[in-house]
Amino acid sequence: MNREKRQEFGEGKIDTAVGKKTRDDNALLTLTERKNAYTPSTKIGRKDSDSTDNGVRS
């Protein structure tokens, strides 16, 4: 489905990424709004649920 066919704002996805280091290192949190491809990102402390929750709220 291409972006032009999406009718509603707010459909999106969330993802975290880490490099080749350990789980305790910083991670990148991205949120993608699929209708307009707006993709804010933020650095989070770790790749865990608490860090992800704090990153989404910031």
3-class secondary structure for the chain?
Answer: CCHHHCCCCCCEEEEEECCCCCCCCCEEEEEEECCCCECCEEEECCCCHHHHHHHHHC
The tens digit of pLDDT for each residue in 14-57 reads 888 887 776 667 888 998 887 777 888 999 988 888 988 888 88
In the predicted structure, residue 6 carries a pLDDT above the cut 70: no
| Number of domains forming the structure of the chain | 1
Q: What is the domain extent for residue 24?
A: 3-57
Does the pTM surpass 0.85? The reply is no
